[in-house]
Amino acid sequence: MIENLRLTRRPRRNRKSKAIRALTQETYLNAADLVAPFFIVDGDKRRDPILEMPGISRLSIDTLILDLKPLIQGGLQAIALFPKIEPSRKDDQGSYALRADGLIPRAIAKIKEAYPHLCLITDVALDPYTTHGHDGLLAPNGDVANDATVDALAQQALTQAAAGADIIAPSDMMDGRIQAIRHALDQNGFEDVSLLSYAAKYASSLYAPFRGAVGVAQVENDKRGYQMNPANAREARLEGMLDVEEGADMLMVKPATFYLDVISQLKESTLLPIAAYHVSGEYAMVQAARHLVDVDAVFYEALLSIKRAGADIIFSYATPNILKCLNGDRLVR
């Protein structure tokens, strides 16, 4: 009988009350950990629902500025901007990405005017701007031309920095782009602009809702020639090490919940902050199960697992849900 064993180790003692569970909790989510991604469009007073991502809409700049107020009051300190460009502005070079009067530079300036202390993170990649949907420029054989793309990305980064971006986040996965962008920023007086490298961006099936949200064209050849093989983990450490050497200030793993092992390994490999992107497919899958599960509770558990794996920064479309939980409007713990 168990009563005769005289147990001395009873881990349940550390779980017997809410107060003790709080004292012994190892991992906490905080509003300061979160980055809220937003999709923006040209126009005024626009709120275009994204069918693939229930609860998420493409917003005009004025609408976004209004929507940000309660989130900032709830503790949000950082957002990331992604554009949906009108098809008439796209070309095979993605040239609209370099325009100082483009959608993203205008959004940066207006948001900074409204919320000077909000951290603005901007995406550097050409896929929202190209007719072919790739993250870079195409060579005559149809492959993405690495070095020519890197030159264009450096120019895109300069455009965003000049508009007032706090953190530039290259998501293209070209070789050498961190070094080129860091050099371009430093040579043009933007030494204080940070670089968050998508160091380990996997060729994942979980990006489909995002591509619909930003109107990225279906690519003729998939992106496995430059995004990472989902089977590889050590390669993520190599990519991270290279980006550290090239001048990155932070490193990203994308997606997040399918790659918790990669987050953990990268965390052990560098002293730089680690970001993780809880991507559109991860968000959409939970929303698709909303009649079966408590959506807020699942989102909270998912982001807690990402934090537990070692992420310091978490990009998530569920950020408004999590802020509600953290502020006691919806207790899930």
Catalytic residue among 223, 254, 267, 307: 254
Residue 143: name the closest of 131, 135, 151 by CA. 135
* Dihedral pair phi/psi, residue 254, rounded to 5°: -145, 125
pLDDT at 333 over 60: no
| Residue 13 resides in a domain | no
Residue 40: give the domain boundaries. Answer: 27-326
Residue 212 lies in a domain: yes
State whether residue 118 is helix, strand or coil: coil
DSSP-assigned letters across all residues of 9-45: --GGGGGSSHHHHHHH------GGGEEEEEEEESSSS
Query: Among 84, 201, 223, 267, which one carries the catalytic annotation?
Result: 201
Check residue 222 and give its pLDDT. 84
> Looking at residue 218, what is its pLDDT?
74
How many whole angstroms from its chain centre is CA 144?
23
Predicted confidence (pLDDT) per residue in 84-93, tens digit: 999 999 999 9
SS (H, E, C) 268-280: HHCCCCEEEEECH
Residue 231 has pLDDT above 90, yes or no: yes
What is the band of 112 on the pLDDT scale with cuts at 50, 70, 90? very high
> Tens digit of pLDDT for each residue in 126-136?
999 999 989 99
Estimate to the nearest angstrom the gap between the alpha carbon of 168 and the chain centroid. Answer: 12
CATH number at residue 40: 3.20.20.70
**What percent of the chain shows pLDDT beyond 70?**
97
- Predicted pLDDT at 7: 83
Q: How far apart are the first and last CA of the chain?
A: 35
Q: Is 111 exposed, middle or buried (0-12, 13-18, 19+ CB in 10 A)?
A: buried
What SS3 class is residue 125? coil
> Do the domain assignments include residue 17?
no
Total of domains in the chain: 1
pLDDT in tens, 8-40: 889 999 999 999 999 999 999 999 999 999 999
- In which band, very low, low, confident or very high, does the pLDDT at 254 lie, cut at 50, 70 and 90? very high
Q: Is the pLDDT of residue 116 over 60?
A: yes
For all residues of the chain together, what is the average pLDDT? 95
- pLDDT band, very low/low/confident/very high, at 110 (cuts 50, 70, 90): very high
Chain segment 306-317, per-residue pLDDT in tens: 999 999 999 999
Per-residue pLDDT band for 233 (boundaries 50, 70, 90) equals very high
Residue 217: inside a domain? yes
H/E stretch holding 80:
strand 78-83
Looking at the chain, the whole-number percentage of residues with pLDDT higher than 90 is 91
Sequence-ordered list of residues with C-beta below 8 angstroms from that of 16, at least 6 positions apart, any chain: none
Residue 63 is assigned to a structural domain of this protein: yes
Q: Is 201 tagged catalytic?
A: yes
The reply to whether 190 falls in a domain is yes
Q: For residue 101, tell me if it sits in a domain.
A: yes
The reply to whether 19 falls in a domain is: no
18 is catalytic: no
Q: Running DSSP on this structure, what letter comes out for residue 8?
A: -
